[in-house]
A and B are shown apart, each in its own frame.
Chain A
Amino acid sequence: MHMISKDVQVDIHARNEHVAEHVHEYLTARGIFTVNVMGAPGAGKTTTLEKLIKLLPGTSYVVEGDIESDIDTERLRQQKISASQINTFGACHLDAPLLHNAVHTMEFAAPGILFVENVGNLVCPAEFSIGEDIKLLQVCVTDGSDKPYKYPLAFEKADVILLSKIDLLPYVDFNEEFFLKGLRHLNPEAPFFKVNGKTGAGYDQVAAWLSKRASAVTGAGQEK
């Protein structure tokens, strides 16, 4: 026996990335534009899906990612929104193989937008591609204005950022200037929208932006 050193240089995410590319190809071929919805628990991600799907002109699909339970899926189904559930049973994020298995059980009868609501967590979902076209990050004013500084990767990787629960601004010490300064240092390009889940204010602009962004994949049907 003797010892050797072998160069490997393999990215530990490489296999996940490979599956993510396959998922993306599979969905794109069906005219499905995929949005990875990220945010802390309680940021209002499911409420955002409810509001946006009502405003979007085409077909929408949802995959809900939670550690346990199908509360959000049932909530969406009661509103006649097509939704599937992934339970991770302990894992703190969705990865590409999990979404791969989910999309292969779904029927995509028409082109449209697939929202994948990731596990509520500002950390891990940003680290794993799932085959999405864009990452939507939602932060609410009660999360605190220091979040870009504490969880930079989620802000850096986001393609669109929503600040929700803005009706609570008078009651919380949310420093919007400090928040936006951190956000823009990490991500100068991503569109930023302020929304109110109670009244629905702000969601029409998000839906218009999303429709336009998705139209290259979904076809003209998503254009407003």
Chain B
Amino acid sequence: MHEGPVTEEIIRIACEAAAEQKGRVTAINLVVGEDSGFIGESIQMYFDVLSEGTACTGARLHLEGVKPKLRCTRCGQLFYRRPFSFTCPACGGDGRPTEIGKEFYVKNVELEVPDTCI
């Protein structure tokens, strides 16, 4: 159930963009950070079912993943976290979480629109 409601929201956002242009959605480009808590494959599975009968029917879903980074409190470097460790590989300082890797947004949509809309 986890990805179901957010997939409905993705479809709603894309359909709204399509309605403004009186068109239909051919592709949705999503940015999904690995620490966002959402799994791309699962969103795809729900999308195929939930988009049926909407302006997103048959649209392709492109997912751009973002690896989480920590910021070292000593030297300020951004670095990828290793399992069970928060240690900065550059100076051995302590890393703290950042917003990098928590992204979860619709970047853009590709639409097929009537020529009258030019």
Residues of A within 8 A of B (CB): 1-13, 15, 90-93, 95, 123-124, 126-127, 146, 149, 152-153, 156, 182, 185-186, 188
Contact = CB atoms under 8 A, between A and B. Distances in A.
Contacts of B94: 185
B26 interface: yes
A8 B97 contact: no
Given A15-B9, A185-B95, A6 B21 contact: yes
Main secondary structure of the interface of B (DSSP, over half): mixed
Contacts of B26: 3
A92 B4 CA distance: 11
Nearest to B37: A127
17 contacts: A1-B115, A3-B110, A4-B23, A5-B110, A6-B17, A6-B108, A8-B105, A12-B10, A12-B13, A126-B37, A127-B36, A152-B35, A156-B97, A185-B95, A185-B96, A186-B96, A186-B97
A147 B108 CA distance: 36
Nearest to A155: B97
Contacts of A91: 1-2, 5
Contact of A9 (B21, B105, B118): B105
Nearest to B13: A10
A66 B106 CA distance: 30
Main secondary structure of the interface of A (DSSP, over half): mixed
What 4 A-B pairs are tightest by C-beta distance, nearest first?
A: A185-B86, A8-B106, A127-B37, A90-B1
Contact count band on B: 35 or more
A1 B97 CA distance: 46
A95 B5 contact: yes
Nearest to B23: A4
A127 B115 CA distance: 41
Contacts of A90: 1
Contacts of B36: 127
